[in-house]
Amino acid sequence: MTSPVSARPGFSPALARRRAAIFTVMLVVGTGTASWVVRTPAVRDLLQASTAEMGLVLFGISVGSMTGVLSSAGVVRRHGARRTIGAGGATFVLGVALIGAAAPMSSSAGAFAGLALVGFGIGLSEIAINVEGAALEAASGRRVLPVLHGCFSLGTVVGAVVGVGLTALDTPVPWHLGGVAVVGAVAVAWAVPAIPSDTGRAVPGAGGGPGWRTQLGLWRQRRIVALGVIVLALALAEGSANDWLPLIMVDGHGVSATLGSVVFTGFAAAMTVGRFAGEPLLARFGNAAVLRASALVSAVGIAVVVFSDSALLAGCAVVLWGLGAALGFPVTLSAAADSDDPTSSVATVAVAGYLAFLVGPPLLGFLGEHLGLRAAMVVVLVVVAAASLLTSAARPRDPAAADR
Residues 89-106 have pLDDT tens digits of 999 999 999 998 988 888
Q: Identify whether the C-beta of residue 72 lies closer than 8 Å to the C-beta of residue 125.
A: yes
CA atoms of 233 and 246, how far apart (whole Å): 20
Q: What CATH number has the domain bearing residue 258?
A: 1.20.1250.20
- Say if 178 falls within a structural domain: yes
Among 42-56, 108-122, 159-173, 259-273, the least confident range: 42-56
Q: What is the pLDDT of residue 256?
A: 87
3-class state of residue 205 by DSSP = coil
Instruction: With a cut of 50, say whether residue 240 has pLDDT above it.
Output: yes
- Say if 7 falls within a structural domain: no
Helices (DSSP H) in 277-310: which residue ranges?
Answer: 278-307
3-class state of residue 206 by DSSP = coil
Q: Identify whether the C-beta of residue 19 lies closer than 8 Å to the C-beta of residue 199.
A: no
- In 3D space, the residue among 296, 291, 270, 305 whose CA is nearest the CA of residue 378 turns out to be 305
Q: What is the pLDDT of residue 224?
A: 85
Q: How many domains does the chain have?
A: 1
Residues 6-36 have pLDDT tens digits of 444 566 888 889 999 999 999 999 999 889 8
Average pLDDT over residues 281-299: 90
Q: Domain of 109?
A: 13-199+211-401
- Say if 40 falls within a structural domain: yes
Q: Nearest 5°: CA angle at 136, between 132 and 137?
A: 115
pTM value is: 0.74
AA identity, residue 122 = I
Q: Identify whether the C-beta of residue 346 lies closer than 8 Å to the C-beta of residue 131.
A: yes
CA atoms of 151 and 145, how far apart (whole Å): 10
Instruction: With a cut of 80, say whether residue 361 has pLDDT above it.
Output: no
Beta-carbon count within 10 A of 295 CB: 27
Q: Helix, strand, coil % (nearest 5) of the chain? A: 80, 0, 20
Q: Band the pLDDT of 286: cuts 50, 70, 90.
A: confident
CA atoms of 71 and 88, how far apart (whole Å): 11
The larger pLDDT score, comparing residue 113 to residue 372, is at 113
- Say if 326 falls within a structural domain: yes
In terms of Cβ atoms closer than 10 Å to its own Cβ (0-12, 13-18, 19+), residue 179 is middle
Instruction: With a cut of 70, say whether residue 385 has pLDDT above it.
Output: yes
Average pLDDT, the chain: 84
Q: Identify whether the C-beta of residue 54 lies closer than 8 Å to the C-beta of residue 365.
A: yes
- Say if 204 falls within a structural domain: no
- Say if 3 falls within a structural domain: no
Phi-psi region of 372 (alpha: psi -120 to 50; beta: other; left: phi over 0): left
Q: What is the pLDDT of residue 187?
A: 96
Q: What is the pLDDT of residue 117?
A: 95
Q: Identify whether the C-beta of residue 132 lies closer than 8 Å to the C-beta of residue 81.
A: yes
The larger pLDDT score, comparing residue 130 to residue 338, is at 130
Q: What is the largest CA-CA distance in the chain?
A: 61
- Say if 390 falls within a structural domain: yes
Among 13-27, 173-187, 362-376, the least confident range: 362-376
Percent of the chain with pLDDT over 90: 30
- Say if 23 falls within a structural domain: yes
CA atoms of 248 and 383, how far apart (whole Å): 19
Q: What is the pLDDT of residue 114?
A: 92
